[in-house]
Amino acid sequence: MPDRAIPGRAIPGLCRDCLETYPEPPTKEARPRRCPACDSPRLVWHPDLDRLSLAHIDCDAFYASVEKRDRPELRDKPVIVGGGQRGVVSAACYVARMYGVHSAMPMFKALKACPDAVVIRPDMAKYAEVGRTIRERMLELTPLVEPLSIDEAFLDLSGTEALHHGWPARSLARLVRDIERELDLTASVGLSYNKFFAKIASDLDKPRGFAVLGFDAATSFLANQPVGIIWGVGKSLRASLAREGITLVRHLLPYSEAELVGHYGRIGQRLYHFARGQDDRGVNPRSPAKSISSETTFNRDISAAEPLLERLWPLCETVARRLKKAGLAGASVQLKLKTADFRQISRSRRLGAPTQLAEELYRTAQPLLEQETDGRSFRLIGIGAADLVAAERADLPDLLDPERTKRAQVERAIDQVRAKLGDQAILKGRGLHLHKGAPSKGTQRGNS
Partner 1 sequence: MKLTIERAALLKSLTHVQSVVERRNTIPILSNVLIEADGASLSLTATDMDLTVIDKIAAEVSQPGATTAPAHTLYDIVRKLPEGAQVEIEAGGDDARLKLQAGRSVFTLATLPREDFPATSGDDLPQSFTLQAGELKTLIDRTRFAISTEETRYYLNGIFLHAAQSNSLPVLRAVATDGHRLARVEMPLPDAAKDMPGVIVPRKTVSELRRLVEGVDDPVELALSETKIRFAFGPTVLTSKLIDGTFPDYERVIPAGNDKVLEVDCKSFAEAVDRVSTISSEKSRAVKMAVNNGALTLSANSPENGTAVEELEIDYDGAGIEIGFNSRYLLDIAQQIEGEAAQFTMADPASPTIVREVADSSALYVLMPMRV
Nearer to partner 1, 242 or 390 (CB): 390
Q: Is-catalytic flag, 73?
A: no
CB of 390 to partner 1, least distance (A): 4
For 340-392, where are the E strands, in sequence order? 344-355, 378-390
**What distances in angstroms separate CA 136 from CA 60, 79, 132, 395, 423, one per listed residue?**
18, 27, 6, 36, 33
Cα(152)–Cα(185) distance, rounded to whole angstroms? 13
Q: CA-based angle 188:191:196, to the nearest 5? A: 100
Nearer to partner 1, 197 or 362 (CB): 362
Catalytic option among 67, 146, 152, 411 = 152
Q: What's the distance, Cα to Cα, between the start and end of the chain in Å?
A: 32
CB of 161 to partner 1, least distance (A): 34
Nearer to partner 1, 244 or 423 (CB): 244
CB of 50 to partner 1, least distance (A): 41
Query: What's the maximum distance between 2 C-alpha atoms anywhere in the chain?
Result: 81
Q: Are strands 210-212 and 291-302 parallel, antiparallel or unpaired?
A: unpaired
Closest CA to 59 of 148, 144, 157, 163: 148
CB of 279 to partner 1, least distance (A): 21
CB of 404 to partner 1, least distance (A): 8
Cα(104)–Cα(122) distance, rounded to whole angstroms? 13
Residues that bind partner 1 (CB under 8 A): 261-262, 265-266, 349-353, 364, 367, 389-390, 392-393, 396-401
- Burial label for 325, CB within 10 Å (0-12, 13-18, 19+), is exposed
Closest CA to 330 of 303, 300, 279, 365: 365
Backbone φ and ψ for 120, nearest 5 degrees, come out as -120, 130
Residues identified as active-site:
152
